[in-house]
Amino acid sequence: MSYAITGVLRRGARVLRSVGPGTVAVAAVALVIGGAGVADAATGGSFHLGNTNTENSTSVLTDTTGIPLSLNAVAGKQPFSVNSTIQVNRLNAQYVGGKSATQLESSGGVGTITEEGGIVLPLEVATKVASTGALPAGTYYVSATATLYTGGVDPAFCTIVAPHAAQNGWAGGDSEYAQAAETVALTVPANTVLSEACYSYAADQEATSAGIIAIRIDSSSVGTTTAPCARTPRRLSRDGSDC
């Protein structure tokens, strides 16, 4: 490997002439250990571990067979830090704020009436008129609406329902075309289907249009699907807010 040393001596002859034989010997040993590649090291000098290093151009680290850089920190310490909030292009991270990409991705469900002309509501039976489809676990902001044809005499109401959960408030009325609008936050396990169900107090009442949307606001499934109202609305309730 003496050819590598010769190359360095040729480029740095002026420096080597200014030092003693002992220093030259130490430098030669270091170059032999480092291998022939050291002779072709790029301008900028060595990177010194444990010290502050300064560079005036971009350094590129390439590994043609695997991972070019691995950083190991003790428990509780970050493996590296940066001094800027500028976005790093094409950085693909598994976790953000401790949450995985699956937890952070947008999710939810939307459902609307599919029957042409609306859905006839059987007398005094809660009938589902729109459903979200299966949802990932999490806490959802849920909103549902329905236009109800009541005939103008007896009321009809709608509510948001979830499996194994109480009904979540009622909305509706007894005008000929009553508008029901319900909103609730629910924490549900995976594969839960949320629905809007409507309740009729007279024959020939129907939901002429309906829709429900659930938007996940937190990916945690810790919690319950508790609700303030578990009974059908009283017959004389006008706005559905009273159970």
* Cα four-point dihedral sign 196, 202, 203, 209: negative
Q: Region 186-201: what's the mean pLDDT?
A: 91
What tens digit of pLDDT does each residue of 105-129 get? Answer: 667 788 888 667 789 999 988 899 9
**What are the residue boundaries of the structural domains of the chain, listed by start?**
1-42, 108-218
Tell me which of 202 and 2 has the higher pLDDT.
202
| Residue 11 tokens, joined | 């480029």
Instruction: Name the residue among 163, 140, 148 with its Cα closest to residue 233.
Output: 148
Under the banding of pLDDT at 50, 70 and 90, the label for residue 234 is low
* CA 189/CA 163 separation, integer angstroms: 10
Mean pLDDT of the chain: 75
Q: What percent of the chain has pLDDT over 70?
A: 66
Helix (H, G, I), strand (E, B) or coil at 227: coil
Per-residue confidence (pLDDT) for residue 41, from 0 to 100: 38
Which of the 8 DSSP states describes residue 187? Answer: E
pLDDT confidence of 170, banded at 50, 70, 90?
Answer: confident
Mean local confidence (pLDDT), 146-163: 91
pLDDT bucket at 206, cuts 50 / 70 / 90:
very high
pLDDT in tens, 77-96: 989 889 998 998 988 887 77
User: For position 177, what pLDDT does the model report?
Assistant: 92
Topology of the domain covering 108-218: Jelly Rolls (2.60.120)
| Strand, helix or coil for residue 152 | coil
CA atoms within a 13 Å half-sphere pointing along the CA-CB vector of 79: 5
Angstrom distance (rounded) from CA 104 to CA 230: 32
Query: Is 50 exceeded by the pLDDT of residue 224?
Result: no
Q: Is the pLDDT confidence value at 56 over 70?
A: yes
More confident residue, 155 or 47: 155
On whether the CB atoms of residues 113 and 210 are closer than 8 A, the answer is yes
Q: With 50 as the cut, is the pLDDT of residue 53 above it? A: yes
